[in-house]
Chain A
Amino acid sequence: MLALDKELLAAVADLHEIPQGAMNIRKNGQLLTRNTTANIDIVTKKDKPGIDIIIKEGTKNESVHIPVLLTETGMQDMVYNDFFIGDNAEVLIVAGCGIHNGGDGESRHDGIHTFHIGKNAKVRYVEKHYGQGDGKGQRIFNPETIIEMADGSYAEMEMVQIKGINSTLRTTKGTVGAGARLILEERLLTHGEQYAETRMDVEVVGEDGSVQVISRTVAKDRSKQVFYPRVIGKNKCRAHLQCDSIIMDNAQVRSIPEIDAQHPDAQLIHEAAIGKIAGEQIIKLMTLGLTEEEAEATILQGFLK
C-alpha cells in the first residue's frame, strides 16, 4: 500500500495496519482489498456500485472496516452500502472517506449507507471524513445514512468531519422501533470558505423508543454551517436534541431544530446554543502557561472530542 493511502487510512479509520476481521477497502472506485469472516460476509452489489455487508444473527465482538480512499483528482464516486445486522448481533462498524485532491478537478464522494438493524442488536458506527491536498480542486462529500431499527435494538452513530472538506450535505433518516435507542453524535469543524449542512429526520414509531442527538461544531474563518435536526414522536417515547456550536472569526452558524410530538406521551426536548469561546477559559489556560493560540486549540480539541 502507498504511503499516502496509509496516511488517509489512519485519518479516517484510525487504521495503522491492515485491520483484523472483516473489511473492504475501496480506492478510486475500485476494490483494493476485502476480507470476510465466518459471521460477516461482504458481497459486491450487481445492480449498482456498492456492497452488502451481512452480519449473522448473534455475532459477538466483531468489527467491520469499510474505508474509501480518493486520491485521483476529478474522481467522482457514488456508492450504495447496505448493512444487514442480524438479531442479537453486536458489532462495531468503521467507515470513512479520505480524499487527497492534489489537482484542480472536483473530487466527490457520495454514498448512501442503509442500516437494517435486527431485534436486540447493538451497533456502534463510526464515520470520519477527511480531506487533504493542495490543489484548487474541491473536495465534496454528500453522505446519506438510513437507519431502520427493530424492537429492542441499540445504535450509536458517530460522525466526524474535521477540516478539509469544502462542501458537505449530510442527511440522516431513522426509524426507531419499540424499546430501541438511537444515539446520533456529530462533530464538525469547518474553516476557510467551507459549507456544511446537516439534515436529520428521525421518527420514533415504537413504544418506549428513544433518540438522543448530540451535535458539537466549530465554525472558523468565513465558513457556514446549517443544522436541521428533526425528531417526530409517534408513540410514547423520549427524544433529546442538543446542539452546541462555537463560532469564531466571520463564520455563520444556523441551528433550526424541530421536535414534533404526535402522541400524548411523547417527551421531546431540544437545546441549542451558539457562542464564542469564553474569554475566561482562554485566560485560565494562559495562567497555566499556555499561549493564547495553545489555549484556544486546547479548548476546541476538548469541545470536539
Chain B
Amino acid sequence: MLELKNITYAAQDEKGKNDILNGINLTLERGRFYVITGPNGGGKSTLAKIIMGILQPTSGEIWLEGKNITDASITERAKMGIGYSFQQAPRFKGIKVGELLNLAADKDRKKRAYCETALRQVGLCTQDYINRDVDASLSGGELKRIEIATLLNRKLKLAVFDEPEAGIDLWSFAKLTETFSALHKDSDGTIVIISHQERILELADEIIMIREGVVAAQDAKEKILPGLLCSPEGCELGKGEKKYACIR
C-alpha cells in the first residue's frame, strides 16, 4: 500500500547539518494497524511529516498503491486519502470546532450528525464544544481530542495519529482506545499510531521501532511487545550506544 524507499532527512540548523532519518525502508499493508514507537527524538514525527508531504525527504522515494508520490503536495496527498493528526495541533482564532470538523469531513459527511459522532468518539460532548473557537481557550487535552476527531469523518487509505494519548486523561484515554479499535474493525484503511503507551501498543497488528533515524525493529506485536516491556537492563532493544528507556 505505502512504501518508503531508503528515506533520509537532514535538517539544517545553526550547528550545521543534522541527520534525522538515515535510510528508512518500510512497507505498510492495506488494512493493517501499526504502532510506531521508539525513544524521544528518534525521528517518528519527522517520518510522519514526510509521509504527509509536510517535509520533503533529502533522498528516497514514497510510493502509494504503486504510484510514486514523492513530489506530491500536502493537498494532493490529502486528496489521495492520507491523513495526519498532529502531535502538536495548531489553534485557530475565529474558527469553530464544528466548522473545523466540517472542513475536515468528506463531502458526504458534512452534516451535524457526523460531527457529533466524531466528537463522541473522542469523548467530547457536542453541545459543549461545537460552537467554541479552536483557540487558546481550549485546554491542551481538548485541543488534542479535536485534532484526532479531524481524521474520523474521512475515508482514508492511511491515517497517521501522532501521539494521540499525549495530555489525555484516563477516562478519555479508554474511550480513545475503543475508538481506534473500532476504526480498525470498520474500515479497510491502514492505521498508524505513533505512541509510547502500552495500551496502544497492544492494539497493533505490527509494531515498528524507530531509533536514531532507522527502523530498529519491525514485527508482529506478539514478537516485539514482550521485549519492550521489561527492565532497562534486560531489554533486548534497549541495548546499543544510546539506552532506550523502557516503556514500563
Residues from 241 to 291 in A contacting B, C-beta threshold 8 Å: 244, 278, 280-281, 283-291
Residues on the A chain within 8 Å of B103, using CB: 285, 288, 290, 298
Closest Cβ of chain B: how far from A243's Cβ, in Å? 13
Residues on the A chain within 8 Å of B52, using CB: 287
A305 contacts chain B at the CB level, 8 A cutoff: yes
Evaluate contact between A278 and B90: CB separation under 8 angstroms.
yes
Q: How far is the CA of A210 from the CA of B94 in the complex (A)?
A: 24
B182 contacts chain A at the CB level, 8 A cutoff: no
Residues from 38 to 78 in B contacting A, C-beta threshold 8 Å: 52, 54, 73-75, 78
Knowing A284-B86, A298-B103, A302-B99 are in contact, say whether A290-B93 is a contact too (CB < 8 A).
no
Closest Cβ of chain A: how far from B192's Cβ, in Å? 14
Residues on the B chain within 8 Å of A244, using CB: 93
Residues on the B chain within 8 Å of A228, using CB: none
Evaluate contact between B90 and A281: CB separation under 8 angstroms.
yes
Closest Cβ of chain A: how far from B82's Cβ, in Å? 8
Whose C-beta in chain B lies nearest to the C-beta of A303?
B94
A14 contacts chain B at the CB level, 8 A cutoff: no
B95 contacts chain A at the CB level, 8 A cutoff: yes
Q: Which of A281, A291, A298, A301 contacts B75 (CB under 8 A)?
A: A291
Residues on the B chain within 8 Å of A291, using CB: 75
A78 contacts chain B at the CB level, 8 A cutoff: no
Evaluate contact between A286 and B89: CB separation under 8 angstroms.
no
B164 contacts chain A at the CB level, 8 A cutoff: no
Knowing A298-B103, A302-B99 are in contact, say whether A288-B94 is a contact too (CB < 8 A).
no
Number of interface residues, chain B, beta carbon within 8 A = 20
Bin the interface of chain A by size: 20 to 34
Residues on the A chain within 8 Å of B104, using CB: 288
Knowing A303-B94, A304-B94, A305-B94 are in contact, say whether A287-B89 is a contact too (CB < 8 A).
no
Residues on the A chain within 8 Å of B74, using CB: 283, 286-287
Most buried by B among A284, A286, A292, A305: A284
Q: How far is the CA of A216 from the CA of B228 in the complex (A)?
A: 51
Residues on the A chain within 8 Å of B99, using CB: 302
Knowing A289-B79, A290-B75, A290-B103 are in contact, say whether A284-B93 is a contact too (CB < 8 A).
no
Most buried by B among A278, A288, A290: A288
Closest Cβ of chain B: how far from A176's Cβ, in Å? 27
Whose C-beta in chain A lies nearest to the C-beta of B79?
A289
Residues from 187 to 222 in A contacting B, C-beta threshold 8 Å: 216
A299 contacts chain B at the CB level, 8 A cutoff: yes
Q: Mark B101-114, 1 if CB is under 8 A from A, else 0.
A: 00110000000000
B84 contacts chain A at the CB level, 8 A cutoff: yes
Closest Cβ of chain A: how far from B147's Cβ, in Å? 8
Closest Cβ of chain A: how far from B71's Cβ, in Å? 15
Evaluate contact between A288 and B90: CB separation under 8 angstroms.
no
Evaluate contact between B93 and A287: CB separation under 8 angstroms.
no
Q: How far is the CA of A299 from the CA of B78 in the complex (A)?
A: 18
Q: Which of B79, B90, B94 contacts A284 (CB under 8 A)?
A: B90
Closest Cβ of chain B: how far from A206's Cβ, in Å? 31
Whose C-beta in chain A lies nearest to the C-beta of B84?
A287
Evaluate contact between B94 and A283: CB separation under 8 angstroms.
no
Most buried by B among A280, A289, A301, A305: A289
Evaluate contact between B92 and A299: CB separation under 8 angstroms.
yes
Q: How far is the CA of A104 from the CA of B104 in the complex (A)?
A: 45
Knowing A284-B89, A287-B52, A288-B104 are in contact, say whether A302-B94 is a contact too (CB < 8 A).
yes
Residues on the B chain within 8 Å of A303, using CB: 93-94
Closest Cβ of chain B: how far from A297's Cβ, in Å? 12
Knowing A284-B86, A298-B103 are in contact, say whether A289-B92 is a contact too (CB < 8 A).
no
Q: How far is the CA of A279 from the CA of B99 in the complex (A)?
A: 20
Evaluate contact between A287 and B78: CB separation under 8 angstroms.
yes
Most buried by B among A280, A287, A305: A287
Evaluate contact between A292 and B75: CB separation under 8 angstroms.
yes
Knowing A281-B90, A298-B103 are in contact, say whether A288-B95 is a contact too (CB < 8 A).
no
Whose C-beta in chain A lies nearest to the C-beta of B103?
A288
**7 closest A-B pairs by CB:** A302-B94, A302-B95, A280-B90, A289-B78, A286-B74, A288-B104, A303-B94
- List 12 additional contacts besides A216-B93, A286-B74, A287-B52; criterion CB under 8 Å: A283-B54, A283-B74, A286-B78, A287-B83, A287-B84, A288-B103, A288-B104, A288-B150, A289-B78, A302-B92, A302-B93, A302-B95
Q: List 26 A-B contacts (CB under 8 A).
A: A244-B93, A280-B86, A280-B90, A283-B54, A283-B74, A284-B86, A284-B89, A285-B103, A286-B78, A287-B52, A287-B54, A287-B78, A287-B84, A288-B104, A288-B150, A289-B75, A289-B79, A290-B103, A298-B95, A298-B103, A299-B92, A302-B92, A302-B93, A302-B94, A302-B99, A303-B93
